[in-house]
Amino acid sequence: HHNPGAFPDGFLWGASTSAYQVEGAWNEDGKGPSVIDKATFHDGITDFTVTSDHYHRFKEDIALLAEMGLKTYRFSIAWSRLYPDGDGELNPAGVAFYQQLINEICRQGIEPLVTLYHFDLPWALQQDGGWSNRRTVAAFERFAITCFEQYGQQVKYWLTINEQNMMILKGDVIGTLPPGTPDPQRTLYQQNHHMMLAQAKAMVACHQRLPQAKIGPAPNISCIYAASARPEDVLAADNFSALRNWLYLDLAVHGRYNNVVWAFLQQRGWLPTIEADDMATIAAGKPDFIAFNYYASATVSADMPEVARGELNSKQQADQQMAGIDKTVYVGCNNPHLKQNQFGWYIDPVGFRITAREIYARYALPLIVTENGLGAFDTLEAGNKIYDDYRIAYLREHIAQLRLAIADGVELFGYCPWSAIDLVSTHQGISKRYGFVYVNRDEQDLKDLARYRKKSFFWYQQLIASNGTTP
């Protein structure tokens, strides 16, 4: 075996993007609109029409990622580029685009890691009820099979659905819950059930067609701390973790509903309609690994004094909204032990280790991190330099904790920070940058969209070259 705490040989150092945040060309070459293109969730400032123009500049971008030394590159396929109506006719220009992209990734010696679906449900399906309609399950299976058939010779690693748990928990924000839907929570858990069916069918189809390939889910998982050692707070943290994390992985891995969540939904009349073969279908889908996105831990208490609420930052308020499903069960609260980033997100590297250990202990499947990173306002300095030491610090601390998780015995085979290059953040535009590569544009002014290597680019390049041993 390898050195305890060393990154294993062949470890997949990578980086991530998603189609709608990086490609642009939102209506080119026959692409149909997605829920993102029609979204009301962004503030009117955020614009996904051009983003980083990766659709037209992918060769330059992949060359930069190769220069950085990436072993893998995680990106997503825009469903409505392949099927403009979500179902129906296949768009040959869309198929060709991803073929060229994958060819280029492979030509540069990078392992493609493909997300089938990253928030961008085809608009035509959404108009027909989206994930509330069982028809979307079959449409997703068909789309997934098309991807396996078209790209399966080159793509060995597949991810089903990005952050399904966030789409359910924040259904009105990043999910596909139409505004004003009656009985929103029941609707969301019905959507969740359909996504679980869709995911299971995609996993089965992948294994049937591509016996060498590996496929898994990609939820956002965070360890949950109790605000105190008071048993009620510990219970609240346990409840929240079941609802936020384990519901999704228990279904994906074990094919069963988490009992705590089941009881929670039952008490509120939010149980989904489950048809006769559904649980067998879900159980038949077996992930080969678990991918997870991690940004920060969360802290909850069974209750919280009103006075503390005013002190919550925006991220915590969002969690609070999530907690608003039932405030008697858990309430998100401050963690005075942690620092926050410029956007009020907590920074918790030790929580990363705890999270990895917890997932591995529960499911005993190999893990890969598909997102982790720091959104920040970068400054372009003279000579087109970006000194993003804060991002290096964030990544360094998180990688150090991953090394400790490996020493703890966690089977971890890759790490893909968010994001490979600058892209448009889901809610806060391009000014909230995550990339190793700077994309020269503003919120409104597209400038020349030139690519500049940030300081973190050179740091990550060295780190990869030493397989994670350089500080």
Question: Which active-site residues does the annotation give?
Answer: 371
Question: Is residue 193 helix, strand or coil?
Answer: helix
Q: Which of 33, 219, 272, 375 binds ligand BG6 (CB under 6 A)?
A: 375
Tokens in use for 111?
């392992």
Residue located via tokens 């009301």: 40
Question: Is residue 238 helix, strand or coil?
Answer: helix
How many other CB atoms are found less than 10 A from the CB of residue 382? 5
C-alpha angle 64-119-19 in degrees, rounded to nearest 5: 25
How many other CB atoms are found less than 10 A from the CB of residue 341? 18
Amino acid at 288: D
Site for ligand BG6 in 384-443 (CB under 6 A): 418, 425-428, 432
289 versus 418: smaller Cβ distance to ligand BG6:
418
Q: Least CB distance from residue 278 to ligand BG6, whole Å?
A: 27
The answer to whether the CB of 348 falls within 8 A of the CB of 328 is no
Q: Which of 104, 111, 120, 163 binds ligand BG6 (CB under 6 A)?
A: 163
Number of residues that bind ligand BG6 (CB under 6 A): 15
Question: Is residue 326 helix, strand or coil?
Answer: coil
The alpha carbon of residue 342 and the mean position of all alpha carbons in its chain are separated, in whole angstroms, by: 21
| DSSP category for residue 432 | S
Q: Which of 76, 126, 162, 355 binds ligand BG6 (CB under 6 A)?
A: 162
Which residues face 412 on adjacent strands? 367
Distance CA 369, CA 11 (A): 12
Contacts of 457 by beta carbon, 8 Å cutoff, 6+ apart: 64, 68, 436, 437
362 versus 427: smaller Cβ distance to ligand BG6:
427
264 versus 415: smaller Cβ distance to ligand BG6:
415
The alpha carbon of residue 440 and the mean position of all alpha carbons in its chain are separated, in whole angstroms, by: 25
262 versus 390: smaller Cβ distance to ligand BG6:
390
DSSP string, 347-395: E-HHHHHHHHHHHHHHH---EEEEE----B----BTTTB---HHHHHHH
Q: How far is CA 14 from CA 63, 117, 294, 301, 417, in A?
A: 14, 19, 15, 36, 7
Q: Which of 278, 371, 378, 422 binds ligand BG6 (CB under 6 A)?
A: 371
Question: Mask of contacts with ligand BG6, 275-314, x by CB under 6 A?
Answer: ------------------x---------------------
315 versus 403: smaller Cβ distance to ligand BG6:
315
401 versus 425: smaller Cβ distance to ligand BG6:
425
Based on its alpha-carbon atoms, the radius of gyration of the chain, rounded to whole angstroms, reads 21
Distance CA 332, CA 309 (A): 10
176 is an interface residue for ligand BG6 by CB under 6 A: no
Distance CA 292, CA 430 (A): 24
> How many alpha carbons fall within 13 Å on the CB side of residue 227?
16
The answer to whether the CB of 197 falls within 8 A of the CB of 282 is yes
Q: Which of 12, 14, 15, 18 binds ligand BG6 (CB under 6 A)?
A: 18
Q: Least CB distance from residue 259 to ligand BG6, whole Å?
A: 27
17 versus 281: smaller Cβ distance to ligand BG6:
17
The alpha carbon of residue 109 and the mean position of all alpha carbons in its chain are separated, in whole angstroms, by: 24
160 versus 426: smaller Cβ distance to ligand BG6:
426
199 versus 293: smaller Cβ distance to ligand BG6:
293
Q: Least CB distance from residue 183 to ligand BG6, whole Å?
A: 26
C-alpha angle 353-114-210 in degrees, rounded to nearest 5: 110
C-alpha angle 458-405-167 in degrees, rounded to nearest 5: 80
The answer to whether the CB of 418 falls within 8 A of the CB of 371 is yes
Question: Mask of contacts with ligand BG6, 202-221, x by CB under 6 A?
Answer: ------------------x-
- Which residues would be at the binding site for ligand BG6 (CB under 6 A)? 18, 21, 162-163, 166, 220, 293, 371, 375, 418, 425-428, 432
